[in-house]
Amino acid sequence: MRRVFTMALILGLAVSGMAQNRVQNRVERQTPKAEKAIKLTGLETYNNQNTIPAQTRSMLVPEEIELGYTTYDWQTNAGMRNQTVAWEDGFAAACWTTASNASFTDRGTGIASFDPATGEWTPSEGRVESEKTGFGTIARYGANGLVVAAHTATACAIYINEDFRNGGVWEEPIYLDNTYGPSWPVVQTSGANHDIIHVLATASGFDVAGVFEPLIYFQFKDGDWTKQNVVLDPINADHALIFSSNEAHFLPIDYSRPNRVAAVINSNWCDGKVIYSDDNGETWDEVVYYNHPGFDQEFPEDQLAFLFPRWVDAYFDANNKLHIAYEFNGTNGSAQADIESGTSGYYPTVGGVAYWDETLPLGEDYLCVGFTGEAGKPFVMDSMYLYQDIYASWYWSDATHEEPVAEYCGFLPPMTNNGGEVAVDFENGDISYYSDYKENHGKYNQGIMGMPTILQNPATGAIYIVYISMTPALAEETYPYSRLLGTASYDGGRTWENSRVLLNDFMNTMDEMVYPQFVPYVYEDAEGYYAYFIYQNDMYPGAYVQNDDAPSDQDETDNTYRAVKIRLDEETWAVEEVVGLGNEISIYPNPVNGTMNVTLNRAEEVVIYNMVGQKVASFNGNIGVNSFDASNLNSGIYFLQAGSDTQKFIVK
């Protein structure tokens, strides 16, 4: 269904539009496009409809395991990629793009494996490939094997290890046909023996069958390519005029349906959908979760025109019903303008995380302004729904709902370091914090919250979502960080718990956390159910590859990939460690050269740590201003902790 409308009325707040990186060339370091400030008109007031309580729930501290190291900190241009895989017995693998130096000369695919028999993760040494590659993804192959798909500067290939689980060797690369410059590949397998390989890649710089830079499909079986450069029917010119890099990824293997292969499609110029084949890639069907307002229409280029699901993770349940967690965001312009000049925008200050499934009905609790469907029956999202019911109902005074609808499952206001709400004066139009985000924060091509990953426990039916949300600047002249949050639903996605901060201990306080992805398996031991997700950890906010690391003089070689073990039992996940808004700390001057003034809102012991977590000083802090002589501290970065709150400061 195609319904054309514009959303000039969509926002009265001043937002920042950011030029979208449409398809990025295979270069090591990008120069961001010029930003454009967009002032929208319409709504007059800025009354915040939501008040986050002064006490925020925090997860019990999960177990965190370091998997590997990389200087290359840009893992995707737009959406999720296939970076985790699990066998039926729980053996698992995770991958990331790795490099060991600032020029990325040895860039490739790093891999770690998890053996449930020992409960240990084992990283591989270096990269899988013998040549420089990027954006590798993985899938199970055969009984014990693994396949990697990655691109080089000039080609795209798969790399097979038929006995990966037992320490086998990687075979020589098998290259995809290079007619249309396939890039940014994702890979999956299917079949009774999991030996039919499927690849989706972007035809970089080419028009194929009426679609510019389409997603092209490849199939490999019985030692040869059996399908190449195919534009699948659900994503052909009847459905889209343009795609871009990293706008598709495969769903995990469904072991109850071995002949199924399915992929999420999330693009600003196509319906949001999951395409799937139940006959190993011979024929394809789709489940649409988002109706685009008009993929071939023109929208204003000087304002936010419509919202769409930008980053999506999904699974089919035991009843073959689709569930998704998504970050919604906005864009403008037209597909044709994007083809010609890449001028469509995205809006990092607009967005949030929400949930949808095929059984979510229209009705009193799920009222949709721009719905597709009939009351009591499943609906498909559209831009008006995303704006009016999801976005506006969370924020603005003249929205339809005083509270967000149930499927909105993420905090929209960003949080302080310890989980509190950022003080933003919407009534007086104070959105300076979001402006700070635009200017100072590494954007990762997503908004103030996003990158959701979703997992269902098949034994209990509980659904879990982990995502990232931005924190404010933690001290003067420092920058916001992205942190990990989690939420759960115990009633099939109809209601969601308040999100809580993950990895909230002191040593995680000043870490950037991005690219979370669940390992698609739920484990069980004597203590109950648990799962793993992986993510990229950085001591500084921003992406070095994209030239927006902060501070600019940081050591770029500071990124690690980590696995997090998290308990899924309701009584464990739901246990609340109550954390107040903490001690409001103000440090000035910052940077410090001699005496620093520390302002507290309650008396607490003040402890100062260096960058490696060593305690270097302490004093008893009183309410009000406390003077501290920092002249004995060496130059560098330090953390000042008072109660549950922490601030970062610099000694010159």
Residue owning tokens 């926002």:
11
Residue 154 predicted with pLDDT over 90: yes
Inter-CA distances, 502 with 348, 380, 450, 475, Å: 23, 31, 15, 21
How does residue 544 score in pLDDT terms, banded at 50, 70 and 90? confident
Exposed, middle or buried by CB within 10 Å (0-12, 13-18, 19+), for 44?
exposed
Q: Do residues 441 and 546 make contact, with C-beta atoms less than 8 angstroms apart?
A: no
Q: Which amino acid is at 320?
A: N
Residue 10 predicted with pLDDT over 50: no
Residue owning tokens 């999720």:
80
What's the DSSP call for residue 545?
Answer: G
Pair type for strands 207-208 and 211-212: antiparallel
Q: Do residues 410 and 353 make contact, with C-beta atoms less than 8 angstroms apart?
A: yes
Render pLDDT for 508-540 as a digit per residue (tens, 0 to 9). 767 889 999 999 999 999 989 999 999 999 877
Q: What is the dihedral of CA 356, 359, 363, 369, to 10 degrees?
A: 40
Q: What is the mean pLDDT of residues 472-500?
A: 75
Render pLDDT for 317-329 as a digit per residue (tens, 0 to 9). 999 999 999 998 8
Whole-angstrom distance, CA of residue 309 vs CA of residue 286: 16
Higher pLDDT, 193 or 445: 193
Q: Do residues 199 and 186 make contact, with C-beta atoms less than 8 angstroms apart?
A: yes
Residue 57 predicted with pLDDT over 70: no
Higher pLDDT, 351 or 496: 496
Q: What is the mean pLDDT of residues 602-627?
A: 87
| CA–CA–CA angle 124, 507, 584 (5° rounding) | 150
Print burial letters for 250-270: b (CB count within 10 Å at least 16), e (below 16). bbbbbeeebebbbbbbbbbbb
Q: Which of 155-159, 227-231, 346-350, 363-367 has the lowest mean pLDDT?
A: 363-367
How does residue 378 score in pLDDT terms, banded at 50, 70 and 90? confident
Backbone CA torsion sign across 73, 75, 79, 81: negative
Q: How high is the pLDDT of residue 298?
A: 93
CA 43 to chain centre: 30
Q: Which of 368-382, 400-414, 583-597, 629-643 has the lowest mean pLDDT?
A: 400-414
Residues 6+ apart with CB under 8 A from 344: 20, 22, 268, 269, 331, 332, 333, 334, 335, 337, 338
Residue ranges per structural domain of the chain: 56-579, 586-651
Q: Do residues 517 and 467 make contact, with C-beta atoms less than 8 angstroms apart?
A: no
How does residue 555 score in pLDDT terms, banded at 50, 70 and 90? low
The HSE-up count of residue 528 (CA atoms within 13 Å, CB side) is 12
Q: Do residues 172 and 163 make contact, with C-beta atoms less than 8 angstroms apart?
A: no
Q: Which amino acid is at 498?
A: N
CATH number of 586-651: 2.60.40.10
Residue 21 predicted with pLDDT over 70: no
Whole-angstrom distance, CA of residue 111 vs CA of residue 631: 45
Phi (first) and psi of residue 506, to 5 degrees: -60, -45
Q: Which of 44-58, 95-109, 225-239 has the lowest mean pLDDT?
A: 44-58
Mean pLDDT of all residues belonging to the chain: 79
Tell me the whole-structure pTM to 2 decimals.
Answer: 0.81
Q: Which amino acid is at 437?
A: Y
Q: Which amino acid is at 540?
A: Y
Q: Which of 39-53, 325-339, 464-478 has the lowest mean pLDDT?
A: 39-53
The CATH architecture one would assign to domain 56-579 is: 7 Propeller (2.130)
Residue 43 predicted with pLDDT over 50: no
How does residue 444 score in pLDDT terms, banded at 50, 70 and 90? confident
What's the DSSP call for residue 347?
Answer: -
Render pLDDT for 167-217 as a digit per residue (tens, 0 to 9). 999 999 999 999 999 999 999 999 999 999 999 999 999 999 999 999 999
Residues 6+ apart with CB under 8 A from 27: none
Whole-angstrom distance, CA of residue 383 vs CA of residue 290: 8
Q: Which of 123-132, 341-350, 394-403 has the lowest mean pLDDT?
A: 394-403
Higher pLDDT, 373 or 197: 197
Q: How high is the pLDDT of residue 118?
A: 94
Q: Which of 133-147, 403-417, 499-513 has the lowest mean pLDDT?
A: 403-417
For the chain, count helices (H), then strands (E).
Answer: 5, 43
The helix (run of H) or strand (run of E) holding residue 368 is none
Q: Do residues 266 and 325 make contact, with C-beta atoms less than 8 angstroms apart?
A: no
Extract the runs of DSSP E, i.e. beta strands, from 386-475.
449-456, 463-470
Inter-CA distances, 177 with 6, 146, 216, 221, 272, Å: 41, 21, 11, 15, 28
Whole-angstrom distance, CA of residue 519 vs CA of residue 163: 20
Residue 445 predicted with pLDDT over 80: no
Q: What is the mean pLDDT of residues 246-273?
A: 96
Residue 571 predicted with pLDDT over 80: no
Calculate what percentage of the chain has a pLDDT beyond 70: 74
Exposed, middle or buried by CB within 10 Å (0-12, 13-18, 19+), for 302?
middle
How does residue 368 score in pLDDT terms, banded at 50, 70 and 90? low
Phi (first) and psi of residue 432, to 5 degrees: -60, -30
How does residue 6 score in pLDDT terms, banded at 50, 70 and 90? very low
Q: How high is the pLDDT of residue 108?
A: 97
Strand ranges of the sheet holding 272-277, from the earlier edge strand across to the other edge: 248-250, 261-265, 272-277, 285-291, 381-382
Q: Which amino acid is at 532?
A: Y
Whole-angstrom distance, CA of residue 199 vs CA of residue 189: 9
Whole-angstrom distance, CA of residue 407 vs CA of residue 27: 39
How does residue 143 score in pLDDT terms, banded at 50, 70 and 90? very high
Whole-angstrom distance, CA of residue 133 vs CA of residue 104: 10
Whole-angstrom distance, CA of residue 97 vs CA of residue 70: 7
Residue owning tokens 């718990």:
497
Q: What is the mean pLDDT of residues 393-408?
A: 58
Extract the runs of DSSP E, i.e. beta strands, from 552-594.
559-567, 577-579, 586-588
Do you find a cis peptide bond into 589, omega within 30 degrees of 0? Answer: yes
